[in-house]
Structure 1
Amino acid sequence: MLAGMDGRDGMRAADADREVVADRLRVALGEGRLDLHEYDERVQRAYAARTYAELDALLTDLPPVTPAEQSALRPAGAPAEPTVDGPAPLARDHVRRWLAEVWLPYVRVVAIVVAIWGVTSLLSQQLLYFWPGWVAGPWGAVLVLRTVGGLAGGEPRRQAIERERRRERKRAKRERRRELRATEPEDPEPSA
């Protein structure tokens, strides 16, 4: 059994494994077990980890989490029964947001060029050649390829992870500023 654990330690971790560790670290931060600086450092190491051993090392000094289904305690305001949806809605939100970031500029530009074509057709009182197709067609084909490749490669999740990292860095920076302001001695009033 011990040999199996050693073999596991050297195995390469997946993005899902890194995300589980990052979630556990987030819980530890919320519980007050980690300060913001240590949390930020560990999350960065979690996303850079290559093996299970590197990930496990980030959690060794934290107690294991008891799943909510097995815990006798329930947070205030939490539903009495576990929800069916779990993390799937969050993943769908990441995909929707990523798709919007990819496709909204295209939709806006195509709407503008079609409007320009429509106005010029009206002003000339004849149906002009539909030149917006030259804008919409090739760009749309590139976006279809990018969408398929991005969804297959997990791009929405990577962007969500990076967005969360930036958010956590900003929070940590604000917290450090607050701590510095709290420790700065107040300037005495100059005497007249």
Structure 2
Amino acid sequence: MGVPDGMRAGDADRQAVADKLRASLDEGRLDLHEYDERLQQAYAAKTYGDLDRLLADLPGTVPTERAQVVPVQPAQPPEVVPDATRRWLAETWDGYFGVVAVCVAIWAVIGIMVGDIMYFWPGWVAGPWGAVLLVTTVNGLVTGEPQKWAAKQARKKAAKIEKRARKQGEREREASEGAD
């Protein structure tokens, strides 16, 4: 039984489509540009219909009207499955808190050394930077930036794995040529 096109897809479903797209890239059915576009669309997809359309023209998949994408059970418990929004927010705000903490620590040490409470200059670092990050965060959440970021991270990881496999293949080929 097919899944209705309008039903909401989950992260595991998006990953399953990303895996199928990767296989199609490896088979030469998609070029790198098409793969990149479809991968971004896969991670931004909201429904099974959105995911189905990404695979409709690829062999080995069922036409969209028969909804080839079926719900996938996550391999990990839901609380362990990485959340793209949470990870994106952590990366976006990562440096801010460390830099502000260092500035406040320097201000405090100087205040202790001088023996007087000075003007709180770290506010000039924290305030404007925090305001820019806040606007960036709100804008990013509205435009779906976490999903785009997750897709980019997945592409980087896939490229890294592919590069490692290619190097391993070259080493094995050199070793076999050296043995001949």
| TM-score in same-fold range (> 0.5) | yes
Alignment of 1:162-181 (within 5 A): 162-181=152-171
**Structure 1: which amino acid aligns with 2:120?**
F
Task: Name which of structure 1's ranges 113-122 and 175-184 shifts more when overlaid on structure 2.
Answer: 175-184
Counterpart among 3, 8, 16 of residue 23 in structure 1: 16
Offset, 1:24:
2.6
CA deviation map 1:131-158 (0-9, x unaligned): 1111111111111101101111111111
Partner of 1:154: 144
Offset, 1:38:
2.8
For the 8 Å contact 2:140–2:146, the answer to whether it is kept is yes
For the 8 Å contact 2:13–2:71, the answer to whether it is kept is no
Offset, 1:89:
6.6
- Residues 153 and 65 of structure 1: is their aligned pair in 2 closer, same or farther, counting only changes over 3 Å? closer
Alignment of 1:57-96 (within 5 A): 57=57, 59-62=58-61, 64=68, 67=71, 85=78, 90=81, 93-96=83-86
TM-score (norm 2): 0.64
Partner of 1:103: 93
2: CA distance, partners of 1:155 / 1:123: 45
For the 8 Å contact 2:111–2:117, the answer to whether it is kept is yes
1: CA distance, partners of 2:141 / 2:94: 17
For the 8 Å contact 1:40–1:168, the answer to whether it is kept is no
**Structure 2: which amino acid aligns with 1:146?**
T
1: CA distance, partners of 2:96 / 2:160: 31
Flag structure 1 segments of 5+ consecutive residues without an equivalent. 1-15, 70-77
Higher relative contact order (CA 8 A, sep 6+): 2
**Structure 2: which amino acid aligns with 1:123?**
M
CA deviation map 1:35-70 (0-9, x unaligned): 87338956752442589866421x33346455569x
TM-score (norm 1): 0.61
Say whether residues 1:125 and 2:115 are aligned partners: yes
- Residues 141 and 25 of structure 1: is their aligned pair in 2 closer, same or farther, counting only changes over 3 Å? closer
- Number of paired residues? 152
Flag structure 2 segments of 5+ consecutive residues without an equivalent. 1-8, 42-49, 63-67
**Structure 2: which amino acid aligns with 1:173?**
K
Say whether residues 1:45 and 2:34 are aligned partners: yes
CA deviation map 1:79-127 (0-9, x unaligned): 9xxx7x5xx974x621121111111211111111111111111111111
For the 8 Å contact 1:22–1:43, the answer to whether it is kept is no
Say whether residues 1:140 and 2:124 are aligned partners: no
**Partner SS, residue 59 of structure 2:** coil
- Residues 40 and 181 of structure 1: is their aligned pair in 2 closer, same or farther, counting only changes over 3 Å? farther
Say whether residues 1:187 and 2:173 are aligned partners: no
For the 8 Å contact 2:24–2:30, the answer to whether it is kept is no
